[in-house]
Amino acid sequence: MTLALVGLNHHHAPVSLREPLAVPPEAFVRELRRMQDASGVDEAVLLSTCNRTEIYYETRLNQDQPFAAGQSWMMDLAPEARQAIEPLLYGYADLGVARHLLRVAAGLDSQVIGEPQILGQIKQAYELAHQNGFVGQALHGLFQFVFLAAKQIRHESGIGLHPVSIASLSVHLAEEIFDDFPARTALLIGAGDTMQLVSQHLARLHLSRLIVANRSLERARQLAQPQGGYAITLDELPAHLAEADLIFAAAQLTEPVLTPDVVRAALERRRHAPVFIMDLGLPRNVDPGVATMPEVFLYTLDHLESLARDNRRERHRAAETAEQAVERAVAEHALDLKGRMATPTICALRERAQKTRRATLEQALQLLRHGESPESALDFLAHTLTNRLIHLPTVQLREAAQEGRENLILAARDLFGLEDGSQDEHPRDRS
């Protein structure tokens, strides 16, 4: 059995290469099934966020090439970009998987160090895979270890204190463009977790108006109403786009919703007043061609990297503490896994001993029923049970001695906690 993961993230690839590998939530089950069916994978969990796509899996096949199944699955997501993407893929096996996933869950591998959203995204990915039958003993053990350890590491290292997120950095970037927010209108495209965070950070700017556009009008209302905003559907975007000075987009779409033609028409109605657009979508919500318009300040996830670097410097000490905690947790996990290797043998040994005990006890009870004294029955029980329990090990040790397998004899002395042979021998045994 081999645990493996294959992935691509923001450390190695820009948005343009992460984009074709992004898997929307409604396609998770289909892609997990494709991974399972095509490669003989027994278990799989898919993690796809704005910064990474990673497939975690367990397989008993191709153990000499544990990453082959994941690489093949990943390439089939974006065959047209294969040459660009393949050299950027990374893979880990066994304990390397545990170490990487724990770093991700603790926020150490994020674009914004310590951001808390990733742990929730991992939990959602695990739950979806588990509910649909893609998680067995191997991945269950891995993810439960990570959930527990990540929570403890975040708490003890302080890396989760005063959390900074992509959403907060996005709003901070907008503050560098405008300073008269009470006169400005913000438009949020999408109503998921990211937009909820953006909305919370915008609240402190006391904007004039907030508009939320989403496929589900009800979800848009739920996000807009607490701040006195109003909701529209995505189809209504062209009619309201000209009202927005700040646009934050993170809807789960397969094609850009803001095209050059749509934005150009809105700019004309705005009399070419400048507009800030933060595209947090993956795939992107805004056509890259929009960036050529002089009135538009268009930013993507890639543009947040400089702000993220500042964040990493500020959190360096907490990150160092967290990294050390990760290594300790992985070492303890490795010992636990090694201990589990002995479990089947221990269970089999106990079952054999219990079977022998039950048989010998029944014989001793039979002696009592036939009139033997309790002392005789107890002597029979102790003597017979002892001989039966040590018979097979004794035979195996004699054969090992005859065959010159001294290592087995030494292992037996260590296993049973025996001292030097001359000290253990009874005088009767030497006669």
Amino acid 312: pLDDT: 67
* Low-confidence spans in the chain with pLDDT less than 70: 1, 38, 61-63, 162-163, 311-314, 340, 342, 420-431
Which CATH fold topology does 166-305 show? Rossmann fold (3.40.50)
| SS3 labels along the chain | CEEEEEEEECCCCCHHHHHHHCCCHHHHHHHHHHHHHHHCCCEEEEEECCCEEEEEEEECCCCCCCCHHHHHHHHHHCHHHHHHHHHHCEEEECHHHHHHHHHHHCCCCCCCCCCCHHHHHHHHHHHHHHHCCCCCHHHHHHHHHHHHHHHHHHHHHCCCCCCCCHHHHHHHHHHCCCCCHHHCEEEEECCCHHHHHHHHHHHCCCCCEEEEEECCHHHHHHHHHHHCCEEEEHHHHHHHHHHCCEEEECCCCCCCCECHHHHHHHHHHCCCCCEEEEECCCCCCECHHHHHCCCEEEEEHHHHHHHHHHHHHHCHHHHHHHHHHHHHHHHHHHHHHHHHHCHHHHHHHHHHHHHHHHHHHHHHHHHHHCCCCHHHHHHHHHHHHHHHHHHHHHHHHHHHHHCCCHHHHHHHHHHCCCCCHHHHCCHHHHC
Residues of the chain with CATH 3.30.460.30: 2-163
pLDDT, tens digit, for every residue of 346-391?
A: 788 888 889 989 988 999 899 899 888 989 889 898 899 888 888 8
CATH 3.40.50.720 residue ranges in the chain?
Answer: 166-305
What is the reported pLDDT for 352?
86
pLDDT at residue number 426: 47
Per-residue confidence (pLDDT) for residue 428, from 0 to 100: 41
Respond yes or no: is residue 347 known to be catalytic.
no
Is 0.95 surpassed by the pTM of this model?
A: no
Domain spanning 2-163: CATH superfamily: Glutamyl-tRNA reductase, N-terminal domain (3.30.460.30)
Predicted confidence (pLDDT) per residue in 217-242, tens digit: 999 999 999 999 999 999 999 999 99
List 5, 6, 41, 50, catalytic entry: 50
Q: What is the structure's pLDDT at 96?
A: 95
- Per residue in 142-165, pLDDT tens? 999 999 999 999 988 888 776 678
